[in-house]
Amino acid sequence: MEHDTFRDARRGLNPHPCPFEKAILAHCCTCALAVRLSISERETVACESAPARETCARLRAELRQNSLFALKVPPGTPLPHAKEMKAMCGGLSGLQQEVEPADEVADVHALVAAALAKFGSLEALPYSRIMPAVAAFEARRRRS
């Protein structure tokens, strides 16, 4: 399937993509509100809740913005895929450690709700303590 054709089919089938879709597909985390959809031989992830999707989109933007220094990227520069994954997966992992230490992020929706209950807002999250997890995150190596 051609990339443009896939992108058009994806928009039609998944009008509400999960902001952490790449992280979920990379098995960095899971989410109770995520719905996996198949398009040809590819997968996409939708979110069942519009309010949760909006909150996650704001969190993703905050993680991206706060990660720029840790990722050594100038402001305004688009993040390459690997650095985007570091910001998402490392950021969620660091947030998990701040909310309730665990080995993995079992549910993004529950994590965000717990973080909001503990810190009050996304802007109040302890990004300075989350960023070491972003810098330390390493993607899985490709199998040969």
Whether 144 shows a pLDDT value over 70: the answer reads no
Kindly report, residue by residue over 107-133, the tens digit of the pLDDT.
999 999 999 999 999 999 999 999 999
pLDDT, residue 57, reads 97
> What are the counts of helices (DSSP H) followed by strands (DSSP E) for the chain?
7, 2
Span 6-25, mean pLDDT? 80
**87 within some domain:** yes
Strand partners, 37: 44
pLDDT, residue 136, reads 94
Residue 66 sits in which domain range? Answer: 3-136
The mean pLDDT value of the chain amounts to 90
**141 within some domain:** no
Whether 1 shows a pLDDT value over 60: the answer reads no
CA distances from 5 to 11, 39, 42, 47, 81 (A): 10, 11, 12, 22, 21
pLDDT, residue 10, reads 65
The Cα 2–Cα 114 span in angstroms is: 41
Span 42-54, mean pLDDT? 92
**42 within some domain:** yes
Number of domains in the chain: 1
Q: Whole-model pTM above 0.85?
A: yes
Strand partners, 42: 39
Kindly report, residue by residue over 65-98, the tens digit of the pLDDT.
999 999 999 988 889 999 999 999 999 999 999 9
Provide the residue count of the chain.
144
The Cα 129–Cα 123 span in angstroms is: 14
pLDDT, residue 8, reads 66
Whether 52 shows a pLDDT value over 70: the answer reads yes
**62 within some domain:** yes
